[in-house]
Amino acid sequence: MIIKSLAVGPIQANCFIIGCETTRAGAVIDPGDEAERIIAEVEKANLHIETIINTHGHFDHVSGNRQLKAATGAELLIHALDAPMLTQLDRMAGAFGLRADNSPPPDRTIEDGDTVDVGDLHLTVLHTPGHTPGGISLHTDSCVFVGDTLFQGSIGRTDFPGGDFDTLINSIHTKLFTLDEQTIVYTGHGPETAIGTEKRYNPFARMA
């Protein structure tokens, strides 16, 4: 499995380019900004991007959707509960004194238990709401991409519209902390971590 990580945009959200080494099929998870930079990395990796996946609808994770989709023709996926946010990115960014292009609508929505295939790779969709109503994580055998659900030593904010602390903690405990402790956690901001590390040391893990 090919995994490339880029911190993009003024809020430095993590964008992940993943690919199948056998077929060279690829996907981009959370193209938050700097689409041209993302495209350049895709070309370096010799991948054909078939899918764009948004872990949630906040502008710092999806503002590159329009440009990346135009360049690749990839299918755009997001959970139905966060899909309406894609038409409000300019307003969300404006609240932070920033700008963003609204995204095209999703080609299809995804929900808990769905599988997204990237060549020979299979990503299982875990609905992990709390940071947003339609937040998702994407799990493979060895890693999980969690968006802003869980961070190294912390959790996602729940003070934005649609956020809820108890819901987020429940998502972490029932969807993420049930995974194998060796599972690598690729977060929406900051460094990667592991499920076992967060179960033992994340202070919010005791707040169920």
Q: What is the pLDDT of residue 208?
A: 45
Q: How many residues are given for the chain?
A: 208
Q: How far apart are CA 89 and CA 99, in angstroms?
A: 8
Q: What spatial distance separates the first Cα and last Cα of the chain, rounded to whole Å?
A: 34
CA dihedral 166, 132, 110, 37 (to 10 degrees): -130
Q: What is the pLDDT of residue 205?
A: 75
Is CATH 3.90.580.10 correct for 2-206?
no
Q: What is the pLDDT of residue 78?
A: 98
- Residues 15 and 68: beta-carbon distance below 8 Å: no
Q: Which residues contact 193 (CB under 8 A, 6 or more apart)?
A: 150, 151, 152, 153, 184, 185, 187
Q: What is the pLDDT of residue 141?
A: 87
Q: How far apart are CA 124 and CA 137, in angstroms?
A: 8
Q: What is the pLDDT of residue 206?
A: 66
| 127 bridge partner residues | 136
Q: Whole-model pTM above 0.85?
A: yes
Instruction: Per-residue pLDDT tens, the chain, 208 aa: give them.
Output: 999 999 999 999 999 999 999 999 999 999 999 999 999 999 999 999 999 999 999 999 999 999 999 999 999 999 999 999 999 999 898 988 998 889 999 999 999 999 999 999 999 999 999 999 999 999 998 999 999 999 999 999 999 999 999 999 999 999 999 999 999 999 999 999 999 999 999 998 764 4
Using DSSP, state whether 44 is helix, strand or coil: helix
